[in-house]
Amino acid sequence: MTMTPAVRKLVLTIHLAVSIGWIGAVVAYLVLGMSAATNADVEIVRAAWIAMDLIGWLAIVPLAVGSLVTGLIISLGTAWGLFRYYWVVITFVLTTFCVLILLLHMPSVSSVARSARATAGPTVTERGGDLLHPGLGLLVLLVITVLNVYKPRGVTPDGWRRQREERSHP
């Protein structure tokens, strides 16, 4: 199923917007995590955790899922395909991995944020910030971006089979 040029451009525009938004939201989350990790003011640490919870659920999760869904639509609706080129497969696997880790990680952020809302003083979990997940996540998102821009060579066995079929059926 091939998309018309107008539909392809629309889906690609949405995909780029949500993917770039995902990266930006992760950067904002990382800044809040650094603030929570380095600040001695209890109120700032508590506010950072509450904000990380909000940004995580209301920005990062929807943008991540949107990026995964629109990327899947683009791959299935264009000649790139989902399993024809290694860079597409790697991008899909990394994106899926990021979304799964994010969905598994966010409940713990919500737990700390609930604690931050409920207590007058700092709890042990409020001390320190969340740097590992957003730092590694940002790195993976940048790798995905590079793969999508440079599109390194490498056709999968499925891609070779499809190319042979296309050549034999003019």
For the cut 50, the answer to whether the pLDDT of residue 72 exceeds it is: yes
For the cut 60, the answer to whether the pLDDT of residue 46 exceeds it is: yes
Cα(90)–Cα(82) distance, integer angstroms:
10
Over residues 11-36, the mean pLDDT reads 96
pLDDT, one tens digit per residue, over 85-99 is: 999 999 999 999 999
Task: Give residue 120's pLDDT.
Answer: 64
Please tell me the number of Cα atoms within 13 Å of 34 on its side-chain side. Answer: 8
Confidence at 165, pLDDT banded by 50, 70, 90: confident
Over residues 71-86, the mean pLDDT reads 92
Nearest Cα residue to 73 out of 128, 9, 147: 9
Cα(78)–Cα(27) distance, integer angstroms:
31
For the cut 90, the answer to whether the pLDDT of residue 33 exceeds it is: yes
For the cut 80, the answer to whether the pLDDT of residue 146 exceeds it is: yes
Which residue in this structure is represented by tokens 């440079």?
150
Confidence at 122, pLDDT banded by 50, 70, 90: low
